[in-house]
Amino acid sequence: MNTASQEVDLQEDSILGRFKVAQSVIRKAGSLANEYFGRLGSLTIKSKGSHDLVSEADVNTELLIRNSFKEKFPDDSFFGEESGHTEFSPGHGIWVVDPIDGTQPFLSGMPNWCISIAYVLDGQLQFGLVYNPPCDELFAGGRAFPATVNGNPIAAHSGTDLSTGLVSIGFSPRSPHSFLFDSLTKLLDQKGMFFRNGSGALSLAYVAAGRLLGHVEPHMHSWDCLGAIAIIEAAGGRVNEFLVGDALLKGNRVVAGGAAVYHQLDSLLGYNR
| pLDDT, mean over the chain | 89
| Burial (Cβ within 10 Å: 0-12, 13-18, ≥19) of residue 49 | exposed
Shared domain check, 188 and 120: no
49 and 128 share one domain? yes
pLDDT digits (tens, 9 = 90+) for 82-92: 887 888 777 78
- Give the end-to-end CA distance of the chain in Å, rounded to a whole number: 55
Predicted pLDDT of residue 273: 44
Cα 232 from Cα 243, distance rounded (Å) = 15
Give me the pLDDT at residue 42, please. 73
Helix axes 222-234, 200-208, angle to 10 degrees: 0
Per-residue pLDDT, averaged over 217-242, amounts to 97
For the chain, percent of residues with pLDDT exceeding 90: 74
152 near 210, Cβ under 8 Å? no
> Does residue 9 have a pLDDT over 80?
no
Asked whether residue 24 falls in the same domain as residue 133, the answer is: yes
- The lowest-confidence range among 131-135, 194-198, 225-229 is 194-198
Report the candidate in 31, 118, 137, 112 with the shortest Cα–Cα distance to residue 79. 118
Whether residue 69 is found in the same domain as residue 135: yes
- DSSP 8-state code for residue 246: T
pLDDT of residue 50: 42
Q: Radius of gyration (Cα) for the chain, nearest Å?
A: 18
Instruction: Write out the residue range of the structural domain in which residue 45 sits.
Output: 3-144
| pTM of the complete model beyond 0.85 | yes
Q: Please tell me the chain's helix, strand, coil percentages from 3-state DSSP, rounded to the nearest 5.
A: 40, 30, 30
pLDDT tens sequence across 118-169: 999 999 999 999 999 999 999 999 999 999 999 999 999 999 999 999 999 9
Residue 10: inside a domain, yes or no? yes
**Helices 15-37 & 3-12, crossing angle to 10 degrees?**
60
At 166, which amino acid appears? L
Is 61 found in the same domain as 114? yes
Residues 121 and 192 in one domain: no
pLDDT at site 45 = 66
For the segment 179-206, the average pLDDT, to the nearest whole number, is 93
The CATH number of residue 262's host domain is 3.40.190.80
The verdict on 73 and 183 lying in the same domain is no
- CB-based contact 173:266 (threshold 8 Å): no
pLDDT in tens, 44-55: 766 554 445 567
Q: What angle do CA 64, 69, 73 make, to 5 degrees?
A: 160
Q: How far is CA 254 from CA 149, 162, 169, 221, in A?
A: 22, 17, 10, 10
